[in-house]
A and B are shown apart, each in its own frame.
Chain A
Amino acid sequence: MSIILEQLLNGLTIGSFYALIALGYSMVYGVMKLINFAHGDLFALGSYLGYTLLVWSAGAVSQRFGLWGGMAAALLFAFFAVGCVGVLMERVAYRPVQKSGRLPLVVSALGVSIFLENLIMAVWGPRYQAYPASVVPTYTISLGWFHITSMQLFILILSFVLMLILYYVVQKTTFGAAIRATALDKEMATMLGIDVGKITLFIFFLGPALGGMAGVMNGMYYRQISFVMGWNYGLKAFTATILGGIGNIPAAMLGGLLLGLVEMFGAAYISSAWKDVFTFLILILILIFRPTGLIGEKVAEKV
């Protein structure tokens, strides 16, 4: 029983990373119909930015405001910095290419991805970096046979809160409705007075920002980060997006959490070596049998 519960916790933790990254994929796909291949690298960038803040300056922040203060600073810093990088990316690499069609846009995204990955390597070096143990709390909370690390609890609560806020904003507010409307029909949204350019900007800030924050959480959780981690997490989160249904925000959250669970239980009960193969098999099967994902509407092509 306790093992299952532990797997569940591990699955949810990694699932919440996937979910936070998947949100960015999904939102960007919604407004631009682009699979933003650079998104995974933004996650990695967030991880490194948080690391730098914690290690270089945060000695100071952590000393003054405690461990949790230092973490909060790192998270917020990554959130805003990566968000700004996202906006810059849209302005420089996507907006000028958008009119040329979707294939050039895909290549541009691959270019940004290669650029970011190598930027990280150039700045922080090709070797693994470790979040020092001194900057993250490491105690474990135990309730009888039930154990949870403080980090796990923190990650779960924070991502849950973030998703809840996002869910509320997107599903319950008029601004959120404007975002969804823009994703569905840009021209109609414009006719209703929605500034599509502003919405796009917002999406390209928020998506990367959430990814960057997930990067910091991931670094704190596993403590080890590398410049190539973007590809792997990106690909997984992207699978999660499809699993839920691309372009649909609650679906991305669901897909992320579900994928985390599938992976954990798959690794535990089937085979850890083949778990990623199962992940991609699921992806392919979903696309064959339910291309709109678990939640999603089918749109017929007009002839």
Chain B
Amino acid sequence: MNKRHKRSQLILGMVIALFLAFPFFSNFYWIDVAFFFGVYALLGLSLNIVLGETGLFDLGHAAFYAIGAYITAILNTLYGIPIVWLIPLSALCAGIFAYIVTSPIIHLRGDYLCIVTIGIGEIVRLALINNPFGLTGGPNGITGIGRPSFGLFAIDTSIRFYFYVWIILAIVILGLVRLQRSRIGRAWNYLREDEIAAEMSGIDVRHFKLLSFVLGAALAGVAGNIYASKLMIVSPDTFTFMESSMLFCIVMLGGLGSIPGSILGAGIITVFPEIFRVVANYRMLFFGGALVLAMIFRPGGLWPRKREIAIPNVRSAEEAEEMIRPVAVDQTRTTAKQSLNGETSSFEKHILVTDKLTMKFGGLVAVKDLDLVVGHGKITSIIGPNGAGKTTVFNVVTGIYKPVSGKVYFEGKDITGFKPHKVASLGIARTFQNIRLFPGLTCVENIMAGLHHRMSSYVFSSIMRTESQILEEKWAIETAMYWLDKTGLAGLSDELAKNLPYGKQKLLELARALSSSPKLLILDEPSSGLNDKETEDLMIFLENLLDEMDLSILLIEHDMNLVMGISHWVVAMDMGIKIAEGRPQDIYNNSRVIEAYLGREE
């Protein structure tokens, strides 16, 4: 491989050698510090899944740590179950606990979630103090926890604990790195960057948020197990809000979503106070100040994640094209419900039909009794002045809003009230009026979002890198590269979306929508912000798409040139009501439409 890769391997080798040699050149005090470094690295990585990868504000993570430690302590002291067996059990219990407590709150955003997790953390700590059923030993906790042992080999010295935790850590890191670069890791990142765009790209946001909490908690549970067996005692004052904030700081100091960052953060948190032990009383004072300074000068963390995608060596556009050739048109597809409007019956098939769709916000009626028909294989445009309710129609059709009344049929199937990710997986893809990309991710990763629901690898296959997972990843990258080329973004695969100029961002959003091989493409003002030349290119591109794929297009547009140039059917809206529909030329000369735009004559 290349030079850089060799160098990083060399550095990695040196770091490992250093870790192996460290205990033989150090004293027990520092070996213990290094042990706790390892425990906090585990904890930092566990919170990194939740906070870093998924962007969920979790300020109560110590609760999951506590569950792991107490499960280990209780089961070991009461039933004598060996510590090592309790590692998976601690993980499992912490994971289940996380599932139960976060299920009802997972929809909360930002600060609200942060507050609830603080509450959960405090409830767990207080419950431990109150000694429910005499299990937790109250404020004094549980003593007499055993040591882990593998057969006759007991982990009972500082050096052995040191290797024990760092070997576990090494395995965890390997698993997490693989997870991070898989469908799962990407899904977490998508919803961190933009929840709505993620949901609309076909990612089950709720599911992946919960998964993130469960996995994060499970890993914290493992850390709890190790901690309990080292100290041989657990007590509630380890699992305070302060502990949770420390974990939060570890992740933020290192850099959101950065595995080496979290480890570095853990190192700083554990080693920093030890170095300043000479100034005992002031060390935390310095630490607090250092946190502020770090956020002023390095708000992105000390070791932020560099985003790269491993691009397979063999990559040819034709090959990729072969793989994603759209499914042949299903001739037996149910014919959509015939519209009430006689004029549109000339369409043989309707891919999308809305029936008396009504949407209200508070008292405001945004869309009223709208009957909309989108012909199969055709381009249908919705025009109308600002505030006419056009975007609301899109949001209802794609499941972002639930209509007050009325129905949405897609390929003859009632999809009213479906969640956006479900709608997306049925074959409706969209772009947004104000571009919604995943700004901090690369172009390829952005496009791969559209492929998410067509892939199937999950946690186990991603960590184990099973053959099917590797194949699937390769397919996904190739497909994404194909669309990157196709939309004229070739060569920008590793560029972050936020660094693209506006026009290219629009194309990238289009590529993401198209990559999912949608049957219906919904575009919200595709030409806004583009110049005449770019608009013209876009028109040609869209028309070509229609020839190449089994695709229907519904778009909102203000640019009459584009609308009149490519639409087969135009629907004009005003004040939430359809005021006219017909062929482009008829609409262009329709007096009611002109009126709606230019104002009513007196």
Contact = CB atoms under 8 A, between A and B. Distances in A.
Contact between chain A and chain B defined by CB under 8 Å: yes
B282 interface: yes
A188 interface: no
Contacts of B288: 111-118
Contact of B130 (A96, A231, A273, A281): A273
B83 interface: no
B248 interface: yes
A189 interface: no
B127 A108 contact: no
B292 A102 contact: no
Nearest to A89: B292
Nearest to A234: B241
A97 to B, nearest CB: 5
Contacts of B118: 235
Contacts of B550: none
B400 interface: yes
B248 A110 contact: yes
Contact of B287 (A33, A97, A114, A235): A114
Contacts of A113: 245, 288
A143 interface: no
Contact of A291 (B104, B108, B290): B108
A284 B285 contact: no
B196 interface: yes
B395 interface: yes
B291 interface: yes
B290 A276 contact: no
Contact of A287 (B108, B241, B242): B108
A111 B110 contact: no
A277 B115 contact: no
B292 A92 contact: yes
Contacts of A101: 299
Interface in A74-109: 92-93, 96-97, 100-108
Contact of A122 (B245, B285, B295, B432): B285
B538 interface: no
A103 B256 contact: yes
Contacts of A92: 292
Interface residues of A, number: 47
A179 interface: no
A287 B295 contact: no
Nearest to A102: B110
Interface in B96-134: 104-105, 108, 110-112, 114-116, 118-120, 122-123, 126-127, 129-130
Interface string A259-275: 00000000000000110
B289 interface: yes
B104 A122 contact: no
A291 B288 CA distance: 31
A205 interface: no
B11 interface: no
A35 B245 CA distance: 13
Interface string A268-303: 000001101100110110011001000000001001
Contact of B115 (A110, A116, A273, A287): A287
Interface in B281-306: 281-282, 284-285, 287-292, 294-296, 299-300
B292 A115 contact: yes
A300 B360 CA distance: 13
Contact of A107 (B105, B127, B252): B252
A119 interface: yes
A111 B290 contact: yes
From A108, A231, A274, name the one whose CB has the most chain B CB atoms within 10 angstroms: A108
A35 B123 contact: no
A139 to B, nearest CB: 36
Interface residues of B, number: 48
Contact of B122 (A106, A110, A276, A288): A276
A67 to B, nearest CB: 34
Contacts of A110: 245, 248-249, 291
Nearest to A119: B285
Contacts of B115: 35, 238, 242, 283, 287
Interface in A115-160: 115-119, 121-122
A238 B112 CA distance: 12
A35 B248 CA distance: 15
A300 B361 CA distance: 9
Interface in B235-249: 241-242, 245, 248-249
A118 B291 contact: no
A37 interface: yes
A275 B127 CA distance: 11
Contacts of A35: 111, 114-115
Contacts of A231: 241-242
Contacts of B300: 100
A101 B55 CA distance: 13
Contacts of B123: 277, 280-281, 284
Interface in B422-467: 432
A104 B295 contact: yes
A284 B248 contact: no
A291 B295 CA distance: 29
Contacts of B129: 273
Contacts of B289: 111, 115
Contacts of B241: 231, 235
B116 A284 contact: yes
A111 B196 contact: no
Nearest to B284: A118
B168 to A, nearest CB: 28
A92 B196 CA distance: 35
Contacts of B130: 273-274, 277
A110 B248 CA distance: 9
Contact of B292 (A103, A111, A121, A242): A111
A288 B130 CA distance: 25
B291 A114 contact: yes
A299 B253 CA distance: 32
A223 to B, nearest CB: 24
A250 to B, nearest CB: 20
B295 A108 contact: yes
Nearest to B244: A110
A37 B114 CA distance: 12
Contacts of A100: 295, 299-300
Interface in B351-371: 361
A169 to B, nearest CB: 26
Nearest to A105: B295
Nearest to B196: A303
A100 B304 CA distance: 14
14 contacts: A97-B296, A97-B299, A104-B295, A106-B57, A107-B253, A108-B296, A110-B248, A110-B291, A122-B281, A122-B282, A280-B120, A280-B123, A283-B119, A291-B108
Q: Which 10 A-B pairs have the closest CB atoms?
A: A111-B291, A115-B288, A100-B299, A114-B288, A104-B299, A118-B285, A111-B292, A280-B119, A118-B284, A104-B295
Given A101-B299, A277-B126, 9 more contacts: A110-B248, A111-B291, A115-B289, A118-B282, A118-B287, A122-B281, A276-B122, A280-B123, A288-B104
Interface of A: 33, 35, 37, 92-93, 96-97, 100-108, 110-119, 121-122, 231, 235, 238-239, 242, 246, 273-274, 276-277, 280-281, 283-284, 287-288, 291, 300, 303
Interface of B: 57, 104-105, 108, 110-112, 114-116, 118-120, 122-123, 126-127, 129-130, 196, 241-242, 245, 248-249, 252-253, 256, 281-282, 284-285, 287-292, 294-296, 299-300, 361, 391, 395, 400, 432
